[in-house]
Amino acid sequence: MATLERTAKLNDVAREAGVSQGTVSNVFNRPEIVSEEVRERVREVAAKLGYKGADPKGRLLRAGKVNAIGVAAVEPLEYFFTDPFARVMMTGVTAACDEAGAGLSLISAKSEEELVWNIRNALVDGLILFCLDGADRLVDLARERNLPFIANSLGLTDQSIPSIGVDNVGGARSAAAHLVGLGHRRFAILTMQLGDKTFGRRTMDDIMKTIFSASRDRVLGYAEALRTAGIDVETVPMFETQSDQETLDAAMTALFAAPEPPTAILAESDKIAILAMDWLEAHGRSVPGDISIVGFDGVPESEAANLTTMVQPIAEIGRQAATVILDKRTGPVRIVLPVDLVVRGSTAPPRG
């Protein structure tokens, strides 16, 4: 009889219950084919010995398939539930998993050590990488696992990395062209993260040095449209934010303390645009009467804010990314999805 000093195994239960190991396995995995009397006897013995059934990890490893995908980000776990973009993208990921009957694992980390451990030990068949931060590290760890993966960024320099996303340069160019077409000449740009917890006034040189491809590419798109309109981009104030109220307030305060404040703002995300609109309202400035503003992403909150924005198919990005993993597609997968300008009430010709 097995003792309580060591972990009880299946053969211990079989010997104590007087049945075969196959019968014990069936009690835990296919109980409908075992008589009720035998089931009760085996479970009583298992409870006494502390046996809870075969380790599912071992069974999954033997099968060579987990039937689950992982979504990884260098962010705290709350990011998947509080960030507007992440929330919508996850609806697409979960829809694809539901269709395939597959599970989902959220892989997050507050530190490098946690990230390495979490990705190395995740029981998944493949990975979707949220490459907002730490893209290179996420890719390196995914490759180390030798599992299928795809990044939700087309701006990565290594073209062999499977990726999915939108044309950030083209979308931003269209957003700026919309404001130029309305007659605006005095612009400001509010960017997403360029560095680790940094914010403030930035130059084009700073933009080009960032590792955050979406932040860089959207500024490049704005710059193309402004140059085409004969506007000197070097004179356009650009402020990095961390997409939060504190850094947005600092940027807006600096912008509107200038002798000639902008008549139009190009915000790199809807979240930034909505925070800027809140600041303007709090400081007695109307949108679009005093200033026009265009966002980027098309999160649900943009419609409620009546925000003109470049809408990307966020949920579809998630759905297709998950499908790539579930279908076990390999090689240099690069999927580019379209963006559309949705004009709402936050843009109008400048006064005067």
To the question of domain 66-166 being in CATH 3.40.50.2300, the answer is: yes
Sheet holding 264-267, edge to edge: 200-202, 238-240, 187-191, 264-267, 292-297, 308-311, 340-342
Using one digit for the tens of pLDDT, what is the confidence trace for 33-58?
Answer: 888 888 888 888 888 888 876 655 55
CA distance 251 to 237: 10
Query: Which CATH number is associated with domain 1-48?
Result: 1.10.260.40
CA distance 242 to 219: 16
Best CA proximity match to 225, nearest among 265, 178, 293: 178
Three-state DSSP state, 187: strand
- Residue 207: pLDDT band (50, 70, 90) is very high
Residue extents of the structural domains in the chain: 1-48, 66-166, 168-312
Average pLDDT rounded to a whole number, residues 278-303: 95
Cα dihedral 137, 100, 319, 114, rounded to 10, equals: -20
Sheet holding 163-166, edge to edge: 103-108, 68-73, 127-130, 149-151, 163-166, 334-337
- The helix (run of H) or strand (run of E) holding residue 17 is helix 10-17
> DSSP class of residue 315?
H
Using one digit for the tens of pLDDT, what is the confidence trace for 219-262?
Answer: 999 999 999 999 999 999 999 999 999 999 999 999 999 999 99
309 forms beta bridges with 295, 342
CA distance 103 to 105: 7
DSSP-assigned letters across all residues of 263-296: SEEEESSHHHHHHHHHHHHHTT--TTTT-EEEEE
Average pLDDT rounded to a whole number, residues 279-292: 96
**Whether 98 contacts 155, CB under 8 Å:** no
pLDDT of residue 91: 94
Type of residue at 206: D
For the chain, what is the radius of gyration of the CA atoms? 27
Three-state DSSP state, 301: helix
CA distance 312 to 330: 25
pLDDT of residue 235: 94
- Checking if the pLDDT of 349 tops 90, the result is yes
Fold equal for 66-166 and 168-312 = yes
**Whether 132 contacts 75, CB under 8 Å:** yes
CA distance 101 to 350: 53
pLDDT of residue 2: 42
**Whether 69 contacts 102, CB under 8 Å:** yes
3-state helix, strand, coil in the chain (%, to 5): 45, 15, 40
CATH superfamily of the domain spanning 168-312:
Response regulator (3.40.50.2300)
**Whether 218 contacts 170, CB under 8 Å:** no
- Residue 137: pLDDT band (50, 70, 90) is confident
